[in-house]
Chain A
Amino acid sequence: MGSEHPVIEMNSLWVVYDHTHPALVDVSVVVDKPEFIIVIGPNGAGKTTLLKVLLGMIKPTKGWARVFGFDVVREAEEIRRLTGYVPQRDIINFEVPLSVKDVVLMGLLPKKRIPRIPSSSDLKRVEEALEFVGMGDLWEEKFSDLSGGQQQRVLLARALVSEPKLLLLDEPLSAVDVASQDAILRILRHLREEGTTIVMVSHDINPVVEYVDKIMLLNKRVVAYGTPSEVIREEVFSEAYGYKVKIIEHAGVCYAITGDVHA
């Protein structure tokens, strides 16, 4: 099924909030084979909105989008079966006492029938997913007691436990220490090699640029989309951010210097 259809198709896609507030403007992008794509852009550029459209959580105001050939409005359920999602960590309520195991189970149980009782094979998969992200020994821990980087890895395990073909991540590297950043990026590269498509929103291009196939520069519209060497050019960045951005090259890798800091 995945082979006949492009992974992602977006066609003249608009999202306008409250009838007046455009968040995505005329976005047309096709991803026809498994790739590691990073989406960058300033605050309010519509990055989170883009991921939510692909999951069918926000309806396009105009245009259409398909994931594995499924329409995001009418066939969101099918898309969600094949997709893993790591939300921006700040939307999570840390007051709710959940164990690491319970958080990861959340990636499996909603896809089951009521009453969603975890089977022993579900628990096995949770264990494997946690081991895969290097958190195997922490599964009884309370999620909110972990460090930011550990929490991010648990959320990644939650997204991976159903073995998705498409992985959408919203700023998984923010407030994460360098060791965890590296661990996460190495995991993503491994998944990419196994044929998973990855769309990752990031505020910072520098740590990821050597891992990714494509960069999408978003500022409501798609300012640029292409390989790192095509996209990382000063005039392109300056257009997206609305002010001068400096690009420096080091050891064959381009780095963008922007004044943009995440709030």
Chain B
Amino acid sequence: MIGYIVLRAALGLALIAALSALAGTFAVLRGLSFIVAGVAHAALGGAALGVFLSSSGILPFDASLYGAIGAGLLLALTAAYVGERGAVGEMETAIGVAFALAMCVAVFFMYYIPPEQAPKIWGFLVGDVMLLTDSDVLLLLCITLAWLAMVALFHREFTYIVFDIEGAEAHGLSVRRYHYALLLMIALSVTVSTKAIGAIIVYAVMIAPVAAAANISSSMKKVFGYGFIFASTACFSGLLLSLVLDISPSAVAGIVSASIYLTTLFIKKGVR
């Protein structure tokens, strides 16, 4: 049983590392690292709303995940709409506003939620790899597969968008649909990862490993590859250390990925 739980945790972490390499790469290169924190908190607000609707009997099922996904997608849609003309700074502002709003919604509904339901919401903030469920892993798997299919088909289009969205449009690409697809997929990935293992570790592994990879890579393939290796290193060192010592895997993962990022910064500076 313990073996199954550890195995499931390992599978979940591997999928999260893959999602970091995919969603994280495009978020970082689009100049939108902040969307990860924004969506994670929007998900928290959405989950609070969902739990409120269920516990007050308005909805006859557990709506926390639906609320989280809805709120994450709504934030991404808002940012995408604001950014249709390509202004990254305006998107960041929109994300900041939505972020604050979602936290207020979370606090507002927390007040009306029965205390025994509260952990469902806090799970979005500080999750536990060992508490992953089969359905979490299944959801992570589905989104990873969707990303792989999208990147296999459209990696050029997505790369053009992050490289030079105006040039891409001027040369005939319908940039709007790729712009929206990218932000919605990033939001979905962050929401589901957050539900699975908590926002803290998601910040830790979504941004720093791919930013590190981008520092030392000469092609997009390498960014994905190194990003996956770095994110896995961070996740698994967290998991392994937490098995032998009594420490938080999220904290370890965060420290490891930040260290990798700093190291690559020095390498990059050294090369120049």
Contacts and interface: CB of A to CB of B under 8 A. Distances in A.
B223 interface: yes
A97 B218 CA distance: 5
Contact of A95 (B29, B169, B173, B218): B29
A81 B172 contact: yes
B170 A80 contact: yes
A145 to B, nearest CB: 9
Given A80-B171, A158-B171, A98 B163 contact: yes
B168 interface: yes
B167 A55 contact: no
Contact of B156 (A77, A109, A168): A109
Contacts of B168: 106, 110
Interface string A73-99: 000010011011101000111011111
B219 A99 contact: yes
Contacts of B171: 80, 84-85, 106-107, 110-111, 158, 162
B247 interface: no
A162 to B, nearest CB: 8
A122 to B, nearest CB: 12
Interface in A86-127: 87, 91-93, 95-99, 102-103, 105-107, 109-111, 114-116
A221 interface: no
Given A81-B172, A111-B172, A142-B218, A96 B162 contact: yes
Contacts of A77: 172
A97 B214 contact: yes
A162 B162 CA distance: 22
A16 interface: no
A85 B167 contact: yes
Interface string B138-176: 000000000000000110110110111011111111000
Given A114-B153, A116-B157, A96 B163 contact: yes
A85 B172 CA distance: 11
A87 B160 CA distance: 14
A209 B156 CA distance: 39
Interface residues of B, number: 27
A16 B158 CA distance: 30
Given A80-B171, A93-B29, A111-B172, A87 B220 contact: no
A168 B170 CA distance: 10
Contact of A158 (B156, B167, B222): B167
A103 B156 CA distance: 10
A106 B167 contact: yes
A146 interface: no
B223 to A, nearest CB: 7
B28 to A, nearest CB: 8
Given A93-B31, A98-B159, A98-B163, A57 B170 contact: yes
Contacts of A87: 164, 166-167, 170
A117 B263 CA distance: 36
B218 A92 contact: no
A92 B219 contact: no
B177 to A, nearest CB: 11
B163 A93 contact: yes
A81 B164 CA distance: 18
Nearest to B223: A97
Given A114-B153, A115-B153, A96 B167 contact: no
B173 A110 contact: yes
B162 to A, nearest CB: 5
B217 interface: yes
B172 A116 contact: no
A85 B219 contact: no
Interface string B74-117: 00000000000000000000000000000000000000000000
Interface string B217-248: 11110110000000000000000000000000
Residue from A92, A106, A107, A158 whose CB has the most chain B CB atoms within 10 Å: A106
Given A96-B29, A110-B160, A85 B218 contact: no
A81 B173 CA distance: 11
B173 to A, nearest CB: 4
A80 B172 contact: yes
17 contacts: A52-B166, A57-B166, A80-B171, A80-B172, A87-B167, A91-B166, A92-B167, A93-B162, A96-B162, A96-B220, A102-B159, A106-B164, A106-B171, A142-B218, A155-B167, A158-B167, A158-B171
Given A91-B167, A103-B163, 15 more contacts: A52-B166, A83-B170, A93-B163, A95-B29, A96-B162, A97-B222, A98-B159, A106-B160, A107-B171, A110-B157, A110-B172, A115-B154, A116-B156, A142-B218, A158-B171
8 interchain residue pairs of minimum CB distance: A110-B173, A85-B170, A110-B172, A96-B163, A80-B172, A111-B172, A110-B171, A92-B164
